[in-house]
Each structure stands twice: as C-alpha cells, then as structure tokens.
Structure 1
C-alpha cells in the first residue's frame, strides 16, 4: 500500500502546488513555442533575417549559465537531504548568483538588438523574440527570488523547500533549453 501512495503526483519532490504551477507554465510556453513555429513557417524569410541579427554565442553562453546554475541547485538539494544546511544554503545562493549572470548576458544582448534599431515592433520575428525571451527572463527573476527564499528556510522545512525551489529552477532551465535552439538556431 505504501508503494501505491508514493507513486504518481505524491512522489514528486517538493510541494505539489509548485508542480501544478510548473505544469501550467510549461503548457503556456508550449503554446508560445507552437505559435512561434507556425509564424516561422508562414514567413521564413523574416525569421531567417531576424535570427541573423541574434548572437548564437550569447545564447549558448546563457545556456551554459543556466545549466550550471541548475547543477548548483541540485547540489543544494543533495546537501539538504544529507543534513548539510550550510552547504545547501551556499549552493542555493551560488545558483541564484550564477542565474543573475543570465540576466546580465540577456541585458547585453537586448542592448545590442535595440541599439541596432530592432524593437518589439520591428516585425513578427522580433515581436515574438522579445515576448518569449522577456517572459522567460521574468521567470529567471522569479526563480532567483525563489532560490534565495528557499535557501533561508528553517531546518524543519528546508529539504521540501529546497526541492520545491529547485523544481521551479529546473523548469526555467528546461524552457531555455528549448527556447534557445527554437529562436537562435533552427532555420
């Protein structure tokens, strides 16, 4: 009977409400990705021209930044499960700090794009580019706040909170791992 209870949604690490949020966010991003893909099929020339203005290098750097930050968050959860509270908190702080690098790189990229006169109103590619990457960047900000908050949890709820925060952060990673090739690489 215990094995049955531990299966399904109850077996997910962290708080169930966060998983409901994660699944709904993934659905929203999925619809946005589908819309981007349909728009690309309808006007491939505009999309190819738009992609030519983006820096694949900065996108790749941001991919490495988020994956590294996700690794640090996972290390924080592992430390918390071992009862190593100081190490768990340090790992979450480091994950948040590395996540902040993503925002700095994105600011450089936005600055270059806007400096080239390309705005959300330039064409359908840049409308979708700024909407998708901006919405993702807002999730990065929220994720950083969550990592900092769960790192300050009391010892009684530390592990569950670390798992909850890391689950959200991994969702942010996953979205970028899909967003980066979709927007920057796929022609």
Structure 2
C-alpha cells in the first residue's frame, strides 16, 4: 500500500532504471547462464573430478565473499532508498559502505587466485579449474566494473546531482550491481558447494 511519503512512480509499480539497462542485464545474464550450463553439464559428465577439485577450494572463503557482496547490495539498496527521498548525500555514505564491503570480496578473491596459482591449480589443471577460472574471472571483472559504477554514483550523490525526481541513471547503476550480486549467489553454491 502506498503512502504519501513514497514517490509516485513506486506507487504505480514503476520498473527501476530504464529499458535499455534491463536489456543489457538480460544479455549479461544470458552469457552467465551459458557458462553456468556448461559448468553443470560438464560436472554431470565428470562428477568425480569436480568433487575432488571442489575440495581444493575453501568454502569458508566463498561464503565470506558471498556475505561481502550481499552486504554491498544491501548498502546499495539503502542508498537508492535515500536518493528516492531526495537525500543523495546520505545515499553517498551508503554507497561508500557498499564499496568497502565489495573491497572485501576483491581482497579475498585475489588472495584465493594467488593461492590457487601458487598451488599449480591454474586454468590448464583440469576441466573443473578451466571452468572455475572462466566463470569466476568473468564475474570478477563485473565486480570491478560495478565498483567503478558505485564510486561514480557516490560522487554524483555527494554533489547532490540526484533527487526524487531525477534518479533514473542512479537506479541503472544500482541495478547493475544487483545483477552482479545475483550472479554470485548462484555461482557460490555451484562452484564451492554442490556435488
């Protein structure tokens, strides 16, 4: 139920962002879906290799990365709520917190990559690690781009360039970040947990 304090487009069921961003996100999710399908089919064909290889990954690290990205997504959503209420400077604070949380993911992922390479578990080690590097590397690049976008949005919020009437570009950036979160929520159990 809508109240008078809520922006009118939310009451009308307005889709955040713009249609072009939704098509872009759909295209990105399609690429991830193909990679996830390749991983799943290959796992069905080589279950023992995938099970043995998965034991070489630290599930606790994967869980910590998941928590950091989900936390960043929460902060981005809180920033969006502030911007919708014409409080962009408060939104900037939440975006900086989102970037801090996302930085934990980056540090953990780089540390994991370095450990795997030092252990000889590079892309050529076996099929599991080939797909692991492709999937997580592609996602990692999306995280870096998402962090750049969040930083850019935070600076624009700090300068007061968004408000309740002018926040479409802001919502597009936050949508991109939520797509990055969503993909990792699927990748974590697929790569680190499920046999």
Compute the TM-score of the two structures, normalised by the length of structure 2.
0.87
1:7-22 counterparts in 2 under 5 A? 11-22=14-25
CA distance in 1, matches of 2:132, 2:100: 25
8 Å CA contact retained: 1:76, 1:162: no
Measured against aligned partners, the alpha-carbon deviations of 1:21-62 in whole angstroms (never above 9, x if no partner) come to 111111110111010000001111111111010000000000
- Once the two structures are TM-superposed, the CA of residue 14 in structure 1 deviates from its matched residue by 1.3
Give the alignment partner of residue 49 of structure 2, picking from 40, 46, 57: 46
Q: Output one character per residue of 1:81-138: Cα deviation in whole Å (capped at 9) or x when no partner.
A: 1111210111112212211211100011111111111110001000000110000000
Q: State the superposition RMSD in angstroms.
A: 1.6
Shift of 1:151: 2.1
Structure 2 residue 187 is matched with structure 1 residue 179: yes
Q: For the structure 1 residues 76 and 61, does the alpha-carbon distance in structure 2 shift closer, same or farther, using more than 3 Å as the test?
A: same
Higher helix share: 1
Which of the residues 114, 117, 132 maps onto 2:117?
114
More displaced, 99-108 or 153-162?
A: 153-162
Would the aligned equivalents of 1:72 and 1:94 in 2 still touch at CA under 8 Å? yes
* Unmatched 5+ stretches in structure 1: none
TM-score by length of 1: 0.91
Alignment partner of 1:70: what SS?
Answer: helix
Match of 1:143 among 139, 142, 146: 146
Q: 2:134 aligned to 131, 135, 151, which one?
A: 131
**Cα pair 1:150 1:158 within 8 Å, conserved:** no
SS of alignment partner, residue 50 of structure 1? helix
Q: CA deviation at 1:148?
A: 1.1
User: Are 1:102 and 2:102 matched, yes or no?
Assistant: no
**Structure 2: runs of 5 or more not aligned:** 1-8
3-state SS of 2:120 partner: coil
CA distance in 1, matches of 2:25, 2:31: 10
List structure 1 segments (4+ residues) > 4 angstroms apart after TM superposition.
Answer: none
Partner of 2:5: none
Per-residue deviation at 1:158? 5.4
User: Which whole-Å CA distance do the structure 1 matches of 2:155 and 2:19 have between them?
Assistant: 20
